[in-house]
Amino acid sequence: MLRWILGGVWRVFDLSSSASDERWATNARNLEDREALFTHLKVLDRLVVVGPKSAHALVYLAMQAPDLEVRAMAERTMLARRDSATILIALDRVAGANRTTRRMVELINGYVDREGDLGDSASARRALLERMVVIGLLDTGDEDGIDGFSKALIGLYTLRSSSGGVGVRGAYEAAAQRRMVDGLEMPDSVRVGLMVRMRVARGPIQEFVAYQSAGLELFAFEMVEDRPGSARRVNAVLDDLNQRLRSERDVIVQMMLIERALAELWLIVLESEGVS
């Protein structure tokens, strides 16, 4: 991935995963002995680039390793690699997929060198985004007349999209196409909900949230189709999300709430499949 940054310099970001990256991440999650983990963490000191899976495992260790000394060493390892694209993305992914904790915000604040309230997760994630912009990982060019912050935020979600980087609109449209091929109609509630949101959307970031919401609702609908016994829990997640969205005007917090709801739905799926 290339980004044009100040001074007319092209900078390369390698976000690919290698076999060694996957191996380090797997070992990091499976090792339990403190000394073994210390030795394992030192391996990263010899690497030029920390792969995406290793970065995610490193952030996990820094955030919630049972041994506090392992947490501290993992955090020091992170701080020794400030402005690592993979670590910045891993921090954002972990923040989006877990309940907000003071430790999580503390890690983000420390990594981006920000002082702030440990209870203010929205501002911490804004700081992550701003740091990605500063190092050139995200673009804020306004050649299309799009607000720079909004464009960068959409770029982040596209960058770490689980659907191969196509973004939430592409993922939604691919799901709709799949249902059509399978002879299934798009649920009216999802289709009409998207139509209403797009009608009132003002700008690309609100359009993004419209597709993000539709994708979540379709995922929930298909969960209940496949697992009727999950209906009560799925509806509880959606009801809670809708209640929070009605009282939240900050579009960034809305995106975080939707992402958090998606993580809760995936947890239901994993639990139903017996995955701990």
pLDDT in tens, 48-77: 788 888 998 999 999 989 999 999 999 999
- Name the pLDDT band for 40 (thresholds 50, 70, 90): very high
- Name the pLDDT band for 1 (thresholds 50, 70, 90): very low
Q: Is residue 5 classed as helix, strand or coil in its secondary structure? A: strand
Residues 81-104: tens digit of each pLDDT: 888 888 888 887 777 655 668 888
Using a 10 angstrom Cβ sphere, with 0-12 exposed, 13-18 middle and 19 or more buried, the burial of residue 212 is buried
What pLDDT sits at residue 120?
Answer: 72
The domain spans of the chain are 2-134, 163-272
Residues 223-267: tens digit of each pLDDT: 999 889 999 999 999 999 999 888 888 777 788 788 778 878 887
d(CA 110, CA 133): 18
d(CA 124, CA 117): 9
Residues 144-174: tens digit of each pLDDT: 433 444 555 555 555 544 434 456 787 788 8
- Distance of alpha carbon 264 from its chain centroid, rounded? 13
Tokens of 20: 């060694």
CB count in 10 Å sphere of residue 112: 21
Write phi, then psi, for 4 (nearest 5 degrees): -85, 125
Residues 110-152: tens digit of each pLDDT: 998 888 777 777 777 778 777 876 776 654 444 443 344 455 5
How many residues are recorded in the chain?
Answer: 276
Amino acid in position 58: L
Q: Is residue 4 classed as helix, strand or coil in its secondary structure? A: strand
What pLDDT sits at residue 51?
Answer: 86
Q: Is residue 46 classed as helix, strand or coil in its secondary structure? A: helix
Q: Which of 37-41, 155-159, 219-223 has the lowest mean pLDDT?
A: 155-159
CB count in 10 Å sphere of residue 154: 21
Element (H, E) at 197: helix 188-200
Closest CA to 213 of 267, 259, 144, 253: 259
Q: Is residue 261 classed as helix, strand or coil in its secondary structure? A: helix
**Euclidean distance between the first and final Cα of the chain, in Å?**
35
CB count in 10 Å sphere of residue 171: 20
Q: Please determine, for residue 206, whether its predicted confidence score (pLDDT) is greater than 90.
A: no
What pLDDT sits at residue 100?
Answer: 65
Under DSSP, the state recorded for 187 is: P
d(CA 273, CA 8): 51
What pLDDT sits at residue 145?
Answer: 36
Q: Please determine, for residue 36, whether its predicted confidence score (pLDDT) is greater than 70.
A: yes
Cα–Cα distances (Å) from 97 to 100, 116, 224, 259, 270, in that order, read: 9, 21, 21, 7, 14
Spell out the CATH class of 2-134: mainly alpha
Query: Do 92 and 156 contact (CB within 8 A), yes or no?
Result: yes
What pLDDT sits at residue 158?
Answer: 53
Contacts of 147 (CB under 8 A, 6+ apart): 203, 205
What pLDDT sits at residue 70?
Answer: 94
